[in-house]
Amino acid sequence: MGTFDSIKDVRAAVDENGGLLTVTLQDLREALGYAKLGARVLATISTELSGHGLGYFPADVLDDNPVPRRYDELRVFAKNEPIGELINAVLEPSERGDEKLLEVGGDNASVILDQIRTILET
């Protein structure tokens, strides 16, 4: 994507891109002013994203990455936007989330929901 001066800039880019943005760990590391990636930096990135109303996936890129690489990609999304609500409905299954997905998917919603969950599990 590009260089960001802060996580606030990342949030602005997510908003400008419709609520979803692909970034690298390098982009996020530089936004926080770190020179190297490590477990503590990954934890800080996660905390900072959350503090700015942002979620991310795949989760293991930040949450369980024993050998982070600067070019590892992460999808960052605005939790309070419609796309963020749909992503959360898939990533954090709940009855309310299922209802939201069924609304969006119409007649094929349950099939689509099963396919999305299968993809996320692999």
Judge if 70 and 97 occupy the same domain.
Answer: no
Tell me, yes or no, whether 31 lies in a domain.
yes
The DSSP H or E segment spanning 75 is: strand 73-78
Token pair recorded at residue 11: 């949030």
Judge if 110 and 73 occupy the same domain.
Answer: no
What is the span of the domain harbouring residue 70?
A: 7-78
Instruction: Say whether pLDDT at 112 is over 80.
Output: no
- CB atoms closer than 10 angstroms to residue 60: 10
Judge if 27 and 71 occupy the same domain.
Answer: yes
Residue that the structure tokens 């609500």 belong to: 85
pTM across the whole model: 0.83
Judge if 73 and 96 occupy the same domain.
Answer: no
Tell me what pLDDT residue 109 has: 64
Burial class from Cβ neighbours inside 10 Å (0-12, 13-18, 19+) for residue 65 reads middle
Judge if 14 and 42 occupy the same domain.
Answer: yes
Tell me, yes or no, whether 84 lies in a domain.
no
Judge if 16 and 54 occupy the same domain.
Answer: yes
pLDDT tens across 44-98, in order?
Answer: 999 999 999 999 999 999 999 999 999 999 999 999 998 898 899 888 889 998 8
Number of structural domains (the chain) is 2
Tell me, yes or no, whether 83 lies in a domain.
no
> What span, in angstroms and rounded, lies between the C-alpha atoms of 122 and 113?
15
> What span, in angstroms and rounded, lies between the C-alpha atoms of 82 and 78?
9
pLDDT tens across 8-52, in order?
Answer: 999 999 999 999 999 999 999 999 999 999 999 999 999 999 999
